[in-house]
């Protein structure tokens, strides 16, 4: 686990602190009116948990990073919303219950290898009610897709960050992609510090993703373009960087 996920929960939360209101509203709509409880594996700092709980859902998150779990619990207490956060591995967890739906934003499942993703879907199937929705945001691409790069600034409570996150190496033959993140602290008590990490993620091609889902207990029934504000439905064969995949539990 890299530093930005393990030791820098607050910096991570500031860096990814954009407004989730519209996305949370859309997720609630896709989960359906009968969905009252939601599981978020790999919940990180708890941003989405807070947004969904604020919309009246019972939410439970889990994360492998103990600092992230502690940060998420503190944020939810401060927000005064009903939620729980569990320290657990998203590939092998047992909460002893089922949920009406689940969400996984910002390519969290990309942190898992192909075997880890398969184990994750098996674990999720054991925790979801039959025919419930699992909404997974994960980019899928053609093998020849260009390496991506994102750069932005974020600011909160006097802390200002400059963030660069970019892929620098890819091997489609083994479904592997390496990226580097650089978080420069421009203002605040830690001004001048830089947090750098190298990450190894799964590079999902369209075909590999469809094969992985087909081999799992789930069925993919729809796909949506998360790059567009309206998140329109797109064909399952289409690639994209911020796709939302609508999976149905067995």
Give the predicted TM-score (pTM) of the model.
0.96
Tell me the C-alpha distance between 219 and 195, whole Å: 39
- pLDDT recorded at residue 236: 87
What is the predicted pLDDT for the residue at 3? 94
The reported pLDDT for the residue numbered 237 is 86
Per-residue pLDDT at 211 = 97
Name the pairing type of β-strands 159-171 and 176-187: antiparallel
Q: What is the pLDDT of residue 246?
A: 98
pLDDT of residue 35: 98
Evaluate whether 236 touches 167 at the Cβ level (below 8 Å).
no
Task: Write the secondary structure of the chain as one string of H (helix), E (strand) and C (coil).
Answer: CCHHHHCCHHHHHHHCCCCCHHHHHHHHHHHCCCCCEEEEECCCCCHHHHHHHCCCCEEEEEECCHHHHHHHHHHHHHHCCCEEEEECCCCCCCCCCCEEEEEECCCHHHHCCHHHHHHHHHHHHHHEEEEEEEEEECCEECCCCCCCEEEEEEEECCEEEEEEEEEEEEEHHHCEEEEEEEEEEEECCCCCCEEEEEEEEECCEHHHHHHHHHCCCCEEEEEEECCCCCCCEECCCCCECCEEEEEECC
- Contact indicator for 106, 137 with CB cutoff of 8 Å: yes
Nearest to 111 by CA among 68, 50, 154: 68
Domains in the chain: ranges and CATH: 3-141+205-248 (3.40.50.150), 149-202 (2.20.25.110)
Task: Tokens 């708890």: give the residue.
Answer: 46
- CA separation for the pair 33, 189 (Å, rounded): 45
- pLDDT score for 37: 98
pLDDT of residue 241: 87
Write down the pLDDT at residue 129: 98
Angstrom CA distances, 203 to 136, 167, 206, stand at: 15, 10, 10
Which pLDDT value is given to residue 82? 84
Average pLDDT, 10 consecutive residues per value, the chain (250 residues): 93 96 97 98 97 97 97 96 95 98 96 96 98 97 92 98 97 94 98 98 95 98 94 91 95
Q: Provide the pLDDT for residue 78.
A: 95
Q: In the numeric block, which tokens belong to residue 140?
A: 């899928």
């Amino acid at each position: 686990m890299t530093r930005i996920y393990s030791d820098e929960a607050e910096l991570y939360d500031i860096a990814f602190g954009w407004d989730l209101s519209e996305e949370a509203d859309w997720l609630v709509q896709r989960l359906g009116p009968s969905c009252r409880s939601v599981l978020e594996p790999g919940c990180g700092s708890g941003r989405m948990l807070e947004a969904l709980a604020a919309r009246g859902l019972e939410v439970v998150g889990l994360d492998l990073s103990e600092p992230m779990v502690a940060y998420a619990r503190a944020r939810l207490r401060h927000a005064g919303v009903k939620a729980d956060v569990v320290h657990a591995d998203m590939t092998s967890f047992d909460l002893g219950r089922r949920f009406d739906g689940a969400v996984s934003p910002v390519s969290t499942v990309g942190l898992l290898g192909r075997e880890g993703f398969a184990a994750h879907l098996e674990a999720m199937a054991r925790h979801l009610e039959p025919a419930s929705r699992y909404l997974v945001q994960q980019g899928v691409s053609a093998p020849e897709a260009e390496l991506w790069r994102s750069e932005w600034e974020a600011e909160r409570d006097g802390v200002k960050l400059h963030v660069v996150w970019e892929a620098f190496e890819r091997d489609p033959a083994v479904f592997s992609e390496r990226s580097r993140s650089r978080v420069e602290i421009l203002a605040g008590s830690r001004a001048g510090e830089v947090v750098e990490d190298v990450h190894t993620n799964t590079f999902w091609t369209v075909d590999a993703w469809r094969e992985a889902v087909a081999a799992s207990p789930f069925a993919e029934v729809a796909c949506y373009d998360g790059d567009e504000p309206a998140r329109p439905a797109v064909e399952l064969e289409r690639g994209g960087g911020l796709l939302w995949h609508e999976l149905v539990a067995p």
